[in-house]
Amino acid sequence: MKIAVTANGTDLDAPTSPVFGRCPTYVLVDTETMEYEAIANPAIASGGGAGIQAAQFIVARGAEAVVTGNVGPNALGVFETAGTSVYLTKEGTVRQALTAYKDGLLSPAAGATVPAHTGMGQGEKRMTRIAVSVGEDNGLDSAISAHFGRCPYFVLVDMEEGEIKAVDTVPNPYFGHHQPGQVPGFIHSQGADVMLAAGMGGRAITFFEEYGIHAATGARGTVRNALEQYFGQQLQGAEPCSESHEHGH
């Protein structure tokens, strides 16, 4: 049986990804032989419809089941039509997720676990999605976290022509522990164009540059304050925090 696992890496010991449509890599595994193939997600940089495109890609690769952290309604609809089962996993490696699947420990997705992302396809106005690292789940009034990689939450703000269109808060899946690049990869998977934080390390800044995400440090106060600072051009770039190694910024 061929299973596709969303991953933040290219082998069986890579961490699983908590997202489906914008995960960096799919690891396709033959559960009988444990032979595998790691394939880059061709939809990760899509302006809109990433879930549908990624699901169609996985179905075309012959996957009979998918193991992921979350799945949206559009991707789930493609899988249901194709008869592809979807199972949910928590933090761990691809290998651990496969073992849990074989042991019958993974729950099938009873429905979408995340809402559909705001469309940004051809002919539609381009939204700007701004991610802000915060220490609490309180929307625009959430306090900025002193730590980047180890902040408990990220607030995602969708803006169009200077107006806030949507606000969402997502838990940081790497809050307890993270490897270099995992948090920027997660922010990229959420479709962010901008990342605002109090501070972050040099490696994180490099990853954001590679993803094409504009990172800005020095944010203070609440998410609302950080947005005002950013659009007031008080936050214009990112400087590595001198204590990033010790404190996980």
Identify whether residues 97 and 44 lie together within a single domain.
yes
Identify whether residues 67 and 10 lie together within a single domain.
yes
Domain coverage including residue 209: 128-247
* Residues 39-84: tens digit of each pLDDT: 998 887 655 677 888 999 999 999 999 999 888 888 999 999 999 9
Instruction: Tell which residue, 165, 139, 129, 163, has the closest CA to residue 48.
Output: 129
Residue 118 lies in a domain: no
CATH number at residue 202: 3.30.420.130
Instruction: Tell which residue, 77, 79, 74, 73, has the closest CA to residue 4.
Output: 79
Contact indicator for 197, 136 with CB cutoff of 8 Å = no
Contact indicator for 72, 114 with CB cutoff of 8 Å = yes
* Residues 9-31: tens digit of each pLDDT: 899 999 998 889 888 899 999 99
What pTM was estimated for this model as a whole? 0.54
Residue 115 lies in a domain: no
Instruction: Tell which residue, 175, 160, 166, has the closest CA to residue 116.
Output: 166
Tokens linked to 139:
């929307």
